[in-house]
Amino acid sequence: MSQAENESQIENQSEKRKPVDAGIHTNFKNDMTYGDYLGLDSILSSQKRLSEHHDEMLFIVIHQTSELWMKLILHELEAATASIAGGELEPAFKMLARVARVQEQLIQSWDVLSTLTPTEYMEFRDHLGHSSGFQSWQNRLIEFCLGHKNQKVLSVYAHQPELHSRLKKALYQPSLYDVSIKVLAERGLPIDPARLQRDFSEDTTADASVEAAWLTVYRNVDKYWDLYELAEKLVDVEDRQQRWRYNHLKTVERIIGYKRGTGGSSGVMYLKRVLDHRFFPELWNLRTQL
């Protein structure tokens, strides 16, 4: 072995002996840490059980993490709605695809909560008082954004003026679906003017002109590729939202049967009625027509 080769081998062995984490920063006296950036002290100290029962922690964590995922969904839906309203469809596709992925996380969360048995839940249910997932204002905003409007639910938030104002504003704004239908009209597809000028605080209902326009898109995919992709992204979101609703129903039925909800709703019966609702009815109706 030559001297150069020997020196190279020694150098390589020396490098191998160096700790692989030698460059890790350890002095955070004046620097922001991972926990600082994420606000972990606040987040991880927010799980406050009202009972001594072990499984209440599961119940709290599932609902808190669900609210965090909903925050991201709202962030994406609101941005997608603004993008579509501005005629920029492609950025919205990425946002809606992300929403669908986040919805998968929410769907799977019911599998974790379903490990809670009826006997275990009854050990701390009374501590919840009248608090209920029905009162989730983020879930309500998501439904408003998707076009499922209901002015009556605002009364639940009357004791929180700022939140009530935010929900009321969202109630009267065009939904994700409203701006999508407007794009159809802007592309020359005939939409009934009454549908375009409707009261946005009302729930979305099926419209014959909208169904005909979407049918034209699906029958002329090459011509309307971006509108076709938009339609399928909307269907992805609704499909997962319905699966989330269904898993919610089955988890509630598994844990409390047909008892009334802590918030006063009819529980499983209410959730069954919700399953019959469609956010984008024409996109489902047209499938029979194709």
The binding site comprises: 59-63, 121, 125, 248, 262
Quick check: 83 and 95 in contact, CB under 8 A? yes
Residues that constitute the known binding site for heme: 248
| Residue burial 252-263, b: 16+ Cβ < 10 Å; e: rest | beebbeeeebbb
Place of tokens 């946002």: 95
**Could you please report the per-residue DSSP string of 199-268?**
-TTSPP---HHHHHHHHHHHH-TTTTHHHHHHHHHHHHHHHHHHHHHHHHHHHHHHHHTTPPPTTSS-TH
Residues that constitute the known binding site for substrate: 59-63, 121, 125, 262
Q: Pull the structure tokens for residue 57.
A: 């922690």
Burial class (CB in 10 A: 0-12, 13-18, 19+), 272: middle
The set of residues, in sequence order, having a beta carbon less than 8 Å from that of 242 and lying 6+ positions away, is 275
CA distance 1 to 63: 66
